[in-house]
Amino acid sequence: MRAMHDLGGQPAGPVERDEHDPSHAERRVDALMALLRARGLFNVDEMRRTIESLPPEIYERHDYYERWLYTIERLLIEKGVLTAREIEDRLAADG
Amino acid sequence: MAKPAFKPGTAVRVRDLPVKGHMRTPGYIRGRRGRIEVLQGFFPNPEQLAYGAKGLPPVPLYLVRFPQSEIWPGYGSTGDSLALDIFEHWLEPAET
């Protein structure tokens, strides 16, 4: 059975090119991912496994770096670096 | 380290393993026939690395070349080919 990211050879329309300079937020997500990888918190296969197992409604609805952000959040919780509660509390405080 | 099972030039078929979770063998290549081009080396198994294990012992990874006409129905006989890196446990010997 194919996972949702395994799209090679599936029927599809034309490729929609959306090329843009990365936003500040996207650069920060990229930097965060690079730092966490460099610190050895997780490897590329764990990162791929986490992206591939995002709930389909999240995976389909979000773009490249948004998926990365969900992935970072899930891996930090899985590895015991942060708790879901800590993240929610911080978001509420910044709200 | 175990000896690699396949030599360059050997005809192989990609297995359709019931692996759930992370893998590096795309769906479109399962069941297709190709030839071993070269042994790329031995690498920790990403299917295990993805879940916090060490993926050891390292597994042989091959560059396998497939005729495009073997992969896509109606491609025609252009001589085009596609080469993919595939881990040994995804390969079985194929009739030639």
Copy the structure tokens of residue A80: 């015991």
Contacts of B32 (CB under 8 A, 6+ apart): B13, B14, B66, B70, B71
> B41-50: per-residue pLDDT in tens?
999 999 999 9
| Phi-psi region at B72: left, alpha or beta (left = phi > 0; alpha = psi -120 to 50) | beta
CATH of domain B11-93: 2.30.30.50
Interface test with chain B among A49, A50, A71, A74, by most B beta carbons within 10 Å: A49
pLDDT digits 0-9 by tens, A59-73: 999 999 999 999 999
A43 near B CB under 8 A:
yes
> Which pLDDT score, from 0 to 100, does residue B20 have?
82
Kindly identify which residue of chain A lies nearest to residue B53, measuring between CA atoms. A46
ipTM: 0.85
**Domains in chain A with CATH codes:** 42-94 (1.10.472.20)
Chain A positions in Cβ-Cβ contact with residue B46 (cut-off 8 Å): 45, 48
Half-sphere exposure of B1 (CA within 13 A, CB side): 11
pLDDT 10s digits, A5-37: 898 888 888 888 878 899 999 999 999 999 999
Inter-residue contact B12 to B33 (CB < 8 Å): yes
Percent of chain B scoring above 70 in pLDDT: 98
Per domain, the residue ranges of chain B are: 11-93
CA distances from A72 to B3, B43, B51 (A): 38, 25, 15
Distance, in Å, from the CA atom of B72 to the CA atom of A26, rounded to the nearest integer, reads 36
